[in-house]
A and B are shown apart, each in its own frame.
Chain A
Amino acid sequence: FSLPTAACLNSKTMASRVLVGVKRVIDYAVKIRVKPDKTGVVTDGVKHSMNPFCEIAVEQAVRMKEKQLVKEIIAVSCGPQQCQETIRTALAMGADRGIHVDVAGKDSENLGPFQVSKILAALAKKEDVQLIILGKQAIDDDCNQTGQMTSALLDWPQGTFASEVAVEGDKLKVVREVDGGLETILIRLPAVLTADLRLNEPRYATLPNIMKAKKKKIDVMKPGDLAVDISSNLQILSTDEPPQRKAGVKLESAEDLIAKLREIGRI
């Protein structure tokens, strides 16, 4: 007996190098609190982890590597020193090496899709990658822009909201989740994919793999090394909690309801 392996016979390598973006965000299970000065949310001492859609992107890359469709996976993260923990998780899941684009302090708070997409485009050229896989959006800003901007900067085709990715000849068949249902497109490489929820179920990082990941390389560089200007044209004016839910009012009869609705000007 031998375990079913994921390798297909005669599978041709489609992309020698894949770039996967992983963002460090506040863990989705944490209750978010707004800072008293309203400049943002509390991040000190709060648990952070890899953006769930980035986990799906990493898993996709690792499965393609297991099928021998890609040769090398590079995990990249932009931000302060702690981003390296997120890169290590990607390495433990199966990425081969990491790149940490070091952006510290105030600048990292201003990092948005526009700056990140410039960085990813520059890295794609520098590392000669044929495929970029990102999560469709980050759970902290919900922007859903980085993948699209990156593909525009590189003038590459994009398969966004991917819920299925398959190889067809020398192209990628991507099934996209759109409002009206599912859209299937055929795109040439090099390309940008963004992962949606149903693309796969990401594996857990196991202890042996976490230990192995410690030995994998993470290159550190600055945005300046890539000739990227990360200044932002956006300024966050204020951050507020959603309005508190007010207590309801119990009424005794339909007449009371009508009277109340009239009182508040609803009818």
Chain B
Amino acid sequence: MAQRLLRGLVLFHKFSLLKKPVYYGLNKADFSLQSRDEQLDCLVNAFRDIAGSENVSVAMAVREQHGKDESLHRCKPPDVVVWPQNVEHVSQMAQLCYGNDIPIIPFGAGTGLEGGVGAPKGGVCFDLMKMDKILNLNGEDFDVTVEAGVTRKALNNYLRDTGLWFPVDPGADASLCGMAATSASGTNAVRYGTMRENVINLEVVLADGRVLQTAGKDRRTRKTSAGYNLTNLFVGSEGTLGIITKTTLRLYSIPETMVSAVCSFPSVQAAVDSTVQILQSGIPIARIEFLDDVMMNACNRFSKLEYPVSPTLFLEFHGTRSSLEEQVSVTEEITKGNGGSEYTWAMDPETRNKLWRARHESWYAALALRPGSMAYCTDVCVPVSRLPEVVLETKEDLNRSRLIGPIAGHVGDGNFHCMVLVNPNDPDEQQRVKEFCYRLGRRALAMDGTCTGEHGIGLGKRALLLEEFGSIGIDVMKQIKLTLDPKNIMNPGKVI
């Protein structure tokens, strides 16, 4: 039935007098209501035949839920939301969209921070969360394959008896394929890497419905020299080149012992200098997080803690007991040499969690500094040696712009986040925040850095992407996009 409909729709498109795509979002009104409704009905019925009517929705509330993520970008709802149960559904529905030039927006857990799921041109949102099977765990080979609906916490929960874990931790309980699509990273990246280093293979549905295995079907070796690196082409593509339906991930063994420590410093320079020196000494530190004085104050007030209000490093070491003792000794020497305070320690999980509460609740602590505010989380990354400079200049810029922006960051990677408070009812402040963010992006670019360390380009950073890569880089990206998505239906309006 679906095949007949597909052929019918394709024929309609080929032979119809309307050469331009007939299906846009609700805001377009330059065609007769009749044909748009007919088109919508036809498509929805075809989807219902493929995935079942309970897995297709045009209800406004559902569409609005799927038109926004956790960023400040306004909600841009799609026209239809579908829940495929398997890759065949995804492929068939993608073919229908391709045949009718209808935008496709893949949707995971909706925890993105750059507006990547908005549908400015309407279209069909593919909510992949019902494809939630964990397939093929290979403990001896340290790899596992998961479908698009499996979240990070669900996977680690499944693995807890095996002695293995997936350490990339972006904070939110994001879907793993979504993390692959945005090349996510997190607090552990300094030791375990980001998604780029930990995705071995992907199953991707292309714009025209073809199903691609980026490293070949079922292949899961630790390394390969075969052909073009298609896997890393799709990692970070934010849904603009294809829909990721499966990912094969590299796992690590759960550390035998974990020790956390908190150390405060007299200045930002001292804290970041310590970071650089710790990395240079070759210590395989697992987490090294920086919170500035504004953030420490926010955390003390929100989480009712009593940390000194000064630049602070939150450290975590993973390893065997004996190696940890050595790691910690060397680190302590470095921090003391930079004027750092005595360490506050934790080894057992309860105390460690308490210690890290400040860092984990930092987003809410920042918002609580001025109740009623929203916040925009910036995300730039520079070479580690330039970090003191970029943080200090950013703090000065915040002062000059009269903005409140507590800073927290994965300084081990040279990546930091400035949680700038925004009054939703103050257009002047909104403008200042926008300009501040552009200046921050450009500041990072001027220091050999990138305008986004882990959140992605999404809707808001396309201009910065051009500055970062230059015209040749962007042209090559556009050529790739044209090859894989000639009709520009894959998440239009994002990245490039």
Q: Are A204 and B254 in contact (CB under 8 A)?
A: yes
Query: CA A3 – CA B321 in complex, angstroms?
Result: 8
What are 11 A-B contacts defined by CB distance under 8 Å?
A1-B328, A1-B332, A3-B325, A4-B347, A29-B157, A49-B161, A201-B353, A205-B162, A206-B163, A207-B164, A210-B162
Q: Are B325 and A1 in contact (CB under 8 A)?
A: yes
Q: Are B349 and A203 in contact (CB under 8 A)?
A: yes
Q: Considering only CB atoms, which chain B residue lies closest to A211 in the complex?
A: B163
Q: Are B163 and A4 in contact (CB under 8 A)?
A: no
Given contacts A89-B161, A209-B163, contact A2 B256 (CB under 8 A): no
Chain A residues, CB < 8 A from B253: 206-208
For window 206-230 of chain A, which residues contact chain B by CB distance below 8 Å? 206-210
Q: Are B345 and A4 in contact (CB under 8 A)?
A: yes
Which of B154, B328, B345, B349 has the most A CB atoms < 10 Å from its CB? B349
Given contacts A200-B350, A201-B353, contact A2 B161 (CB under 8 A): no
Q: Are B163 and A1 in contact (CB under 8 A)?
A: no
A92 within 8 A of B: yes
B259 within 8 A of A: yes
Query: CA A209 – CA B325 in complex, angstroms?
Result: 20
For window 312-338 of chain B, which residues contact chain A by CB distance below 8 Å? 321, 324-325, 328-329, 332
Given contacts A2-B325, A3-B259, A3-B325, contact A201 B350 (CB under 8 A): yes
B255 within 8 A of A: yes
Chain B interface main SS type: mixed
For window 169-217 of chain A, which residues contact chain B by CB distance below 8 Å? 200-201, 203-210
Query: CA A207 – CA B318 in complex, angstroms?
Result: 14
Q: Are A204 and B158 in contact (CB under 8 A)?
A: no
B400 within 8 A of A: no
For window 250-267 of chain B, which residues contact chain A by CB distance below 8 Å? 253-257, 259
Pick the residue among B163, B259, B349, B350 that contacts A92 (CB under 8 A).
B163
Instruction: Using A3-B321, A4-B345, A205-B162 as known contacts, list a sample of 13 further A-B pairs with CB atoms less than 8 Å apart, ordered by residue number in A.
Output: A2-B325, A3-B257, A3-B328, A27-B158, A29-B158, A49-B160, A89-B161, A200-B350, A205-B254, A206-B254, A206-B256, A207-B253, A208-B256
Chain B 339-350 interface mask (CB, 8 Å, partner A; 1/0):
000000101111
Query: CA A200 – CA B161 in complex, angstroms?
Result: 18
Which of B157, B254, B255 has the most A CB atoms < 10 Å from its CB? B254
Minimum distance in angstroms from A94 CB to a CB of chain B = 12
Minimum distance in angstroms from B133 CB to a CB of chain A = 11
Q: Are A207 and B345 in contact (CB under 8 A)?
A: no
A47 within 8 A of B: yes
A50 within 8 A of B: yes
Q: Considering only CB atoms, which chain A residue lies closest to B329 in the complex?
A: A1
Query: CA A204 – CA B353 in complex, angstroms?
Result: 15
Q: Considering only CB atoms, which chain B residue lies closest to A63 in the complex?
A: B348
Q: Are B158 and A47 in contact (CB under 8 A)?
A: yes
- In the A-B complex, list the 6 residue pairs whose CB atoms are closest, starting with the nearest: A207-B163, A201-B349, A207-B253, A1-B329, A210-B163, A204-B254
Size bracket, chain A contacts: 20 to 34
Q: Total contacts A to B, CB within 8 angstroms?
A: 55
Q: Considering only CB atoms, which chain A residue lies closest to B322 in the complex?
A: A3
Q: Are A207 and B154 in contact (CB under 8 A)?
A: no
Which of A3, A29, A92 has the most B CB atoms < 10 Å from its CB? A3
Chain A residues, CB < 8 A from B160: 49, 204-205
Query: CA A210 – CA B161 in complex, angstroms?
Result: 9
Query: CA A2 – CA B324 in complex, angstroms?
Result: 9
Pick the residue among A3, A50, A206 that contacts B255 (CB under 8 A).
A206
Chain A residues, CB < 8 A from B254: 204-207
Given contacts A1-B332, A3-B347, A206-B256, contact A50 B161 (CB under 8 A): yes
Chain B residues, CB < 8 A from A1: 325, 328-329, 332
Minimum distance in angstroms from B189 CB to a CB of chain A = 21
Minimum distance in angstroms from A67 CB to a CB of chain B = 12
Chain A residues, CB < 8 A from B257: 3
Query: CA A204 – CA B329 in complex, angstroms?
Result: 26
Query: CA A196 – CA B349 in complex, angstroms?
Result: 17
Query: CA A110 – CA B325 in complex, angstroms?
Result: 51
Chain B residues, CB < 8 A from A208: 253, 256
Q: Are A205 and B161 in contact (CB under 8 A)?
A: yes
Minimum distance in angstroms from A5 CB to a CB of chain B = 9
Chain A residues, CB < 8 A from B328: 1, 3
Chain A 30-69 interface mask (CB, 8 Å, partner B; 1/0):
0000000000000000010110000000000000000000
Minimum distance in angstroms from B286 CB to a CB of chain A = 14
Minimum distance in angstroms from B260 CB to a CB of chain A = 12
Given contacts A1-B332, A3-B325, contact A204 B163 (CB under 8 A): yes
Chain A residues, CB < 8 A from B157: 29
Minimum distance in angstroms from A157 CB to a CB of chain B = 27
Chain B residues, CB < 8 A from A89: 161
Chain B residues, CB < 8 A from A4: 345, 347
Query: CA A4 – CA B256 in complex, angstroms?
Result: 15
Query: CA A210 – CA B162 in complex, angstroms?
Result: 8
Query: CA A201 – CA B350 in complex, angstroms?
Result: 7
Chain B residues, CB < 8 A from A2: 325
Q: Considering only CB atoms, which chain A residue lies closest to B353 in the complex?
A: A201
Q: Considering only CB atoms, which chain A residue lies closest to B352 in the complex?
A: A201
For window 239-256 of chain B, which residues contact chain A by CB distance below 8 Å? 253-256
Q: Are B324 and A3 in contact (CB under 8 A)?
A: yes
Query: CA A2 – CA B345 in complex, angstroms?
Result: 12
Given contacts A1-B328, A3-B321, contact A205 B163 (CB under 8 A): yes
Q: Considering only CB atoms, which chain A residue lies closest to B317 in the complex?
A: A3
Chain A residues, CB < 8 A from B349: 201, 203
Minimum distance in angstroms from A30 CB to a CB of chain B = 10
Chain B residues, CB < 8 A from A207: 163-164, 253-254
Minimum distance in angstroms from B458 CB to a CB of chain A = 31
Q: Considering only CB atoms, which chain B residue lies closest to A30 in the complex?
A: B158
Minimum distance in angstroms from A205 CB to a CB of chain B = 5
Chain B residues, CB < 8 A from A50: 161
Which of A3, A50, A204 has the most B CB atoms < 10 Å from its CB? A204
Query: CA A4 – CA B329 in complex, angstroms?
Result: 13
Q: Considering only CB atoms, which chain B residue lies closest to A85 in the complex?
A: B161
Query: CA A1 – CA B328 in complex, angstroms?
Result: 8
Query: CA A3 – CA B161 in complex, angstroms?
Result: 26
